[in-house]
Each structure stands twice: as C-alpha cells, then as structure tokens.
C-alpha cells in the first residue's frame, strides 16, 4: 500500500510539473522562409530541401527573438575599439555573455545567432511546410558559385518563452513579458494593377484587430507600399490576409522579416469594363458614308 501511495505521489508531481510547463509556455506562429544555395557540384534535392527547412526554422526563431528585443537593444552606441560600448550603462552583459567574447558592434542578427545557438529546433513547438517551391534558378542569393537555390516556406510555432529565457541569460535588453509594442510594418504589394484591387487589400489589412492604420507611401502600376501601425507581427498580418481575401486573390510570400513584408499577388483575369468596346462596329460599305 505505501508503494502504491508513493507511485501516486510521483505521478501527481509529474502532472503538476507538466501543467506548470504548459502554462509557462507562450507559443506564437511565424512563417519562416528558407533559401539554400546549391553550387555547381551540387547537393541532392533532398539535402537541399532539408537545409532550406532548417533555414526556415532559423528564420522564424530569429524573428521571434527580434520581437522580444527592447528598443535599446538596437541602439547600443559603439565607440573606441571594436566591441567596446561608449556608455557602459547602455548594455549590461551577463558573465555568460562576456565569456562568449560578445562583440556588440556586430549586427543584431549576428548577435542573435550567437545567443540562440545552432539548433533552432530547441525553440520550436511544432512546424509544417506551407510552400515547397523546390529547386529553382537563383533569385534571392548573390553568390557567383551558386547555380540554383532551394526555397521553402514553413509555418513554425515558436516557444517564445524559451527564446526569452535564452536572450535574458546573455543579457540582451527585452520588452517586459506580455507587452505588445506598437511598431511600424512596411508592406510591399506586387502584382496589383488597379486601384480597386489595392483598396481591397488595404481594407483586408485594416480588418486585422492589431492594425491601427495602413497608410500608402508609394503607388505605381503593379506595385504599392504601405506603412502599417500595428501591434501584430508580420506573420499574424500575413495569416489574416490569407483568411480575409477571396481564394482568387492568391499571393506568394517573397520576403518576411522584422518590420517588413513583401507579397506577390498572382495575375487575375481582367474584369469586363462596361465602358470598353473591344470589337469596333463593321463599316457598311454598301451605303454612302456620312461624316
């Protein structure tokens, strides 16, 4: 009987720990883009796909990390020798960060790569492939040795609490937990040839509960750029746009990142303009023309 009671207590403790872990986890959805360059001697298609998937997961995790950084993390003033800070009060690094020879003059993405480590799966709750674009001619990469690239878009659910703990451990400045800063998001729309098409997409963007405004700053045929004031991250905006637009309004995700989004809309059949008359009337040559 004591043995049964002991096993029951162990099971109860495990359940409590599991529930506590689940409650602490904060999982958010991101769309990650992975582009893996294939050289002339080339890897196999399967290897290219595996590497593109790994890069897509890394992209999603890094953008989750970017959303957690406080503004001062982007504004560290570097002066004197490389890796020194002009004002020590601007950046407080933990002993762990100092032991890793932290260089604060590195771009923020490089600092995040170093902080998060080489395994993006450490921070991923689950993922699935949204678009497997396969191996195609080079579009994104700029390397003369690269002859083709494998492109893959993944839907990634990132445990942002794990990311927060890791960044906090190396002393990076973070926004308080639960805070949603209002940020500008630059959205570039390609393939919209008419104003009414642009207006439809703008209204779909404004229907997002986190979007406060969507102001156009550039407009031309087949291209428009808007600045969104929003508390929603780019992934949430993209997902909402897919849900709100009709199926005929298919778009391809070209770029997604911290503060920017680039979408390519597919061509749609032109609508009939009642004012247009593509077939001119035939001229009656049997009667005298009157002018």
Both 87 and 139 in one domain: the answer is yes
Cα 285 to Cα 30, 76, 248, 251, 288, distances in angstroms: 67, 82, 45, 50, 7
pLDDT per residue rounded down to tens, the chain (291 residues): 555 455 444 444 444 444 444 445 688 888 888 999 888 777 788 898 999 999 999 999 998 888 888 877 776 434 333 333 333 333 333 444 444 444 445 688 888 999 999 999 999 999 999 889 899 888 778 788 888 899 999 999 999 999 999 999 988 888 887 665 566 889 999 998 888 889 999 999 999 888 888 888 888 888 999 989 888 778 888 888 999 998 888 898 888 877 888 999 987 655 533 334 445 445 445 545 443
Both 165 and 53 in one domain: the answer is yes
- Last residue of a domain, which of 169, 194, 221? 169
Both 135 and 220 in one domain: the answer is no
Both 212 and 114 in one domain: the answer is no
Both 91 and 192 in one domain: the answer is no
- Last residue of a domain, which of 108, 141, 169? 169
Both 57 and 155 in one domain: the answer is yes
Number of other residues whose CB lies within 10 A of the CB of residue 228: 24
Q: State how far the Cα of 26 lies from the Cα of 205, in Å rounded to an integer.
A: 25
Instruction: Answer yes or no: is 2 within a domain.
Output: no
Whole-model pTM?
A: 0.59
Instruction: Answer yes or no: is 3 within a domain.
Output: no
The range of the structural domain enclosing residue 211 comes to 183-265
Instruction: Answer yes or no: is 275 within a domain.
Output: no
Instruction: Answer yes or no: is 20 within a domain.
Output: no
Instruction: Answer yes or no: is 16 within a domain.
Output: no
Instruction: Answer yes or no: is 203 within a domain.
Output: yes
Are residues 150 and 45 in contact, defined by beta-carbon separation less than 8 angstroms?
Answer: yes
């Amino acid at each position: 009987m004591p043995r049964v009671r002991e096993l029951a207590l162990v099971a109860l403790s495990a359940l409590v720990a599991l529930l506590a872990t689940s409650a602490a986890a904060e999982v958010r959805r991101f769309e990650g883009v992975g582009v893996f360059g294939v050289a002339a001697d080339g890897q196999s298609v399967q290897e290219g796909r595996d590497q593109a998937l790994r890069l897509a997961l890394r992209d999603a995790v890094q953008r989750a990390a970017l959303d957690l950084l406080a503004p001062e993390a982007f504004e560290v003033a570097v002066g004197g020798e490389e890796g020194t800070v002009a004002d020590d009060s601007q950046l407080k690094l933990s002993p762990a960060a100092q032991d890793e020879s932290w260089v604060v003059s590195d771009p923020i993405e490089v600092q995040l790569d170093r902080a998060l480590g080489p395994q993006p799966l450490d921070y991923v709750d689950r993922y699935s492939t949204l678009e497997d674009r396969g191996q195609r001619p080079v579009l994104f990469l700029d390397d003369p040795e690269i002859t083709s690239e494998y492109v893959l878009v993944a839907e990634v659910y990132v445990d942002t609490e794990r990311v927060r703990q890791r960044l906090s451990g190396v002393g990076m400045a973070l926004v308080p937990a639960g805070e949603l800063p209002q940020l500008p998001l630059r959205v570039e729309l390609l393939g919209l040839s008419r104003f009414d098409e642009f207006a439809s997409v703008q209204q779909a963007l404004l229907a997002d509960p986190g979007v406060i405004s969507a102001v156009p700053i550039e407009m031309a045929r087949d291209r428009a750029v808007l600045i969104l004031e929003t508390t929603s991250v780019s992934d949430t905006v993209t997902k909402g746009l897919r849900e709100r637009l009709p199926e005929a309004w298919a778009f391809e995700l070209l770029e997604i990142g911290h503060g920017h989004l680039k979408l390519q809309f597919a061509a749609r059949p032109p609508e009939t303009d009642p004012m247009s008359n593509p077939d001119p009337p035939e001229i009656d040559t049997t009667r005298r023309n009157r002018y």
